[in-house]
């Protein structure tokens, strides 16, 4: 259970440390402030969406119910990674115990997987809304929406639990191992195992296909039907409105699935650890930040609700 390092000649529980971005103090300060600013923007933007959806009855539709859950997942997803990342940017490397690394990996995979499944559910919602508008309220009932979200989280929980448990049955030689990443992600942790990891790599690919490839194919099929339905709309205004409601979701989908696939579905022999870390920055910071920006800047209902909330708050303060 405990490993002895032949290099350090130390004994004790296995610990990990994250490789620092830079050792130059000035750059450390800049990176810390940059990532902190992005994190605060993610929290504020997604919290604003949650608040608007909860407080405005006009937004209590399946589309905004899914958007509410997506924003909640984005907040949890980044909060699992960013606070620990910020604490490691400044100063000496801070060790994370084996159990802590496993807990972070499990939560990160669960929330990330649920995020991917939810994006697929949102594409189905758009398919029903555009291709079967007269039956939309009959199909997308509140009960079905809740069931789909619960199933998305449950499936992500099951897959991430099995993958994390499998990885942390591996032996990690040495007392302290350095992870060339800013979080306990699967590929960099697997590289530190002192055992044959071919079975674990195969399981990772299977999970990656279930979490990334299958939902992405379902999204593609949905958008084929959506595009076909949009092209049949004779009104230019109606066509533009239908396209606008889908383009926001499609933008988030391409970023999320594209960069995740580059990390988890690319052969390890052709992958670079530094590239994986750069790609991870995109789906840790950029996608959660774009989610509230895209859905507020390109959605008239959300913009209207936000303006109404701000104006009513200003009126109340004036009184």
Q: Determine the pLDDT at residue 35.
A: 94
pTM of the model: 0.85
Tens of pLDDT, residues 292-311: 777 766 666 676 776 776 66
pLDDT digits (tens, 9 = 90+) for 197-225: 889 999 999 999 999 999 999 999 998 89
Distance of CA 111 to the CA centre of its chain: 6
* Average pLDDT over all residues of the chain: 83
Pairing label, strands 176-179, 15-18:
parallel
* Residue 245 pLDDT level (bands cut at 50, 70, 90): low
**How many Å apart are CA 71 and CA 42, to the nearest integer?**
9
Other CB atoms within a 10 A radius of the CB of residue 61 amount to 18
Name the class of domain 24-300: mainly alpha
pLDDT at 107 over 90: yes
DSSP state string for 191-230: TT-SS--HHHHHHHHHHHIIIIIHHHHHHHHHHHHHHHHH
Residues forming beta bridges with residue 13, ordered by sequence position: none
pLDDT at 8: 38
Residue 6's pLDDT is: 39
For residues 36-64, average pLDDT = 89
Is the pLDDT at 2 greater than 80? The verdict is no
Q: Where are the domains of the chain?
A: 24-300
pLDDT band, residue 113 (cuts 50/70/90): very high
Considering only 76-90, 152-166, 301-315, which range has the smallest mean pLDDT? 301-315
Task: Locate all alpha helices (DSSP H) within the chain, ordered by sequence.
Answer: 25-55, 62-89, 98-131, 136-139, 142-167, 186-190, 198-208, 214-231, 236-264, 273-281, 287-297, 300-318
Residue 52 has pLDDT above 90, yes or no: no
CA distances from 284 to 86, 289, 313 (A): 13, 9, 33
């Amino acid at each position: 259970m405990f490993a002895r390092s032949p290099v350090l000649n130390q004994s004790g529980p296995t610990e990990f440390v994250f490789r620092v971005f830079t050792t130059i103090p000035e750059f450390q300060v800049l990176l810390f402030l940059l990532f902190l600013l992005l994190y605060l923007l993610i929290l504020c933007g997604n919290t604003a969406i949650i608040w608007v959806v909860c407080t405005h009855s006009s937004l209590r539709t399946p589309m905004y119910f899914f958007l509410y859950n997506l924003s909640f997942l984005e907040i949890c997803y980044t909060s699992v990674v960013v606070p620990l990342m910020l604490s490691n940017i400044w100063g000496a490397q801070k060790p994370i115990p084996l159990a802590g690394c496993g807990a972070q990996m499990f939560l990160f995979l669960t929330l990330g997987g649920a995020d991917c499944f939810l994006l697929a559910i949102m594409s189905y919602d758009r398919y029903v809304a555009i291709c079967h508008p007269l039956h939309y309220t009959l199909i997308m009932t509140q009960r079905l929406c809740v069931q789909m979200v619960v199933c998305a989280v449950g499936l992500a929980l099951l897959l991430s639990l099995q993958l994390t448990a499998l990885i942390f049955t591996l032996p990690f030689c040495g007392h302290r191992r350095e992870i060339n990443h800013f979080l306990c992600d699967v590929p960099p942790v697997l590289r530190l195992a002192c055992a044959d990891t071919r079975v674990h790599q195969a399981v990772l690919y299977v999970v990656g296909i279930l979490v990334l490839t299958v939902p992405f194919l379902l999204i593609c099929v949905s958008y084929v039907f959506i595009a076909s339905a949009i092209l049949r709309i004779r009104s230019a205004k109606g066509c533009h409105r239908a396209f606008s409601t889908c383009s926001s979701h499609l933008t988030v989908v391409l970023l999320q699935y594209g960069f995740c696939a580059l990390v988890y579905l690319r052969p390890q022999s052709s992958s670079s650890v530094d590239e994986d870390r750069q790609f991870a920055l995109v789906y840790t910071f950029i996608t959660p930040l774009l989610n509230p920006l895209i859905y507020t800047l390109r959605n008239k209902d959300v913009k209207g609700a936000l303006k109404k909330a701000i104006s009513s708050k200003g009126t109340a303060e004036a009184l």
